[in-house]
Chains A and B, each alone.
Chain A
Amino acid sequence: QVQLVQSGAEVKKPGASVKVSCKASGYTFTTFSIHWVRQAPGQRLEWLAWINAGNGNTKCSQNFQGRVTITSDTSATTAYMELSSLSSEDTAVYYCAREWGISHFDYWGQGSLVTVSS
């Protein structure tokens, strides 16, 4: 069965970076894109970026230009999201999701809580 398993919770200081992983299993990793979505406490879903796991092409939201880096390791069937220059506003649950077709996400990771606090 398809599964996306994310890395655990992180606590970071302002100005630091965080790297979240998303381990995929149960399907051919390179056939689907992986997207990253975050949700601050009590707030809406916010789309960050995506990576084509087949060719490594990436695209990110203008809101995160220059701060987010998306990579993947096909041998490990794992995608990564690194966010730099963290502030308290980046405190959120970060989700990875598999894109099935165009722009719909059929499987989601369990979420990784990133807390930014001094």
Chain B
Amino acid sequence: QSALTQPASVSGSPGQSITISCTGTSSDVGNYKYVSWYQQHPGKAPKLMIYEVSNRPSGIPDRFSGSKSGNTASLTISGLQAEDEADYYCSSYTTSSTRVFGEGTKLTVL
């Protein structure tokens, strides 16, 4: 199972919006609503930010949103804040009943 494709890095200024893409195949992202997004700060465990494409767990601000079209899912962060600077990973369920993560995207807040 190959990793889902994400851009290596994205950047934005405080207050701006950014979008991170996550491209898979019809065997994972394209076939299921089970796409989630995780934020990871250096030296820390990942944190769930979005589940089932567009749902936010309790406590996650509505600045974070998710969507999906075909084989590509997206995470959008609006009103960027300094504390949003982190690595972001997407994840998907697969037809083999396994899970797969994306390559990871480093977000820099300028």
Which residue numbers of A lie inside 8 Å of B, CB to CB?
A: 35, 37, 44-47, 50, 59-63, 95, 97, 100-106, 108-111
Report yes or no: B57 in contact with A106, Cβ–Cβ below 8 A: yes
Contacting residues, chain B, for A61 (C-beta < 8 A): 1, 98
Which of A35, A100, A102, A111 has the most B CB atoms < 10 Å from its CB? A102
Pairs A-B, 5 closest by C-beta atoms: A104-B51, A103-B93, A103-B34, A108-B45, A104-B36
Query: B52, A101: Cβ atoms under 8 Å?
Result: yes
**Which of B45, B48, B52, B103: most chain A CB closer than 10 A?**
B45
- Tell whether, in the assembled complex, residue B103 and residue A104 are in contact, meaning their CB atoms are under 8 Å apart: no
Min CB distance, A32 to chain B, in Å? Answer: 14
CB closest residue in chain B, given A6: B45
Q: Which residues of A contact B46 (CB under 8 A)?
A: 37, 45, 95, 97, 105, 108
Chain B, residues 88-110, CB within 8 Å of chain A (1/0): the string is 01011100111111111000000
| Contact indicator A50/B45 (Cβ below 8 Å) | no
A116 → B minimal CB distance (Å): 20
A103 to B89, CA, bound (A): 13
Q: Which residues of A contact B36 (CB under 8 A)?
A: 103-105
Whether B18 is near chain A, meaning CB under 8 Å from some CB there, is no
What residue of chain A has the Cβ atom nearest to residue B55's Cβ?
A: A104
Q: Is there contact, CB below 8 Å, between B45 and A102?
A: no
A67 CB to nearest B CB, Å: 15
Given contacts A44-B3, A44-B104, A45-B89, contact A105 B98 (CB under 8 A): no
29 A-B contact pairs sorted by A residue (CB < 8 Å): A37-B46, A37-B101, A44-B3, A44-B102, A45-B38, A45-B46, A45-B89, A45-B91, A45-B101, A45-B104, A47-B100, A47-B101, A50-B99, A59-B98, A60-B98, A61-B1, A63-B1, A95-B45, A95-B46, A97-B46, A101-B51, A101-B52, A103-B99, A105-B46, A105-B48, A106-B48, A106-B57, A108-B46, A108-B47
Cα distance, A10 to B57, chains bound together (Å): 33
Distance between B89 CB and nearest chain A CB, rounded to angstroms = 5
Q: Which residue of B lies closest to A96 (CB)?
A: B45
CB contacts under 8 Å to A, within B56-110, are: 57, 89, 91-93, 96-104
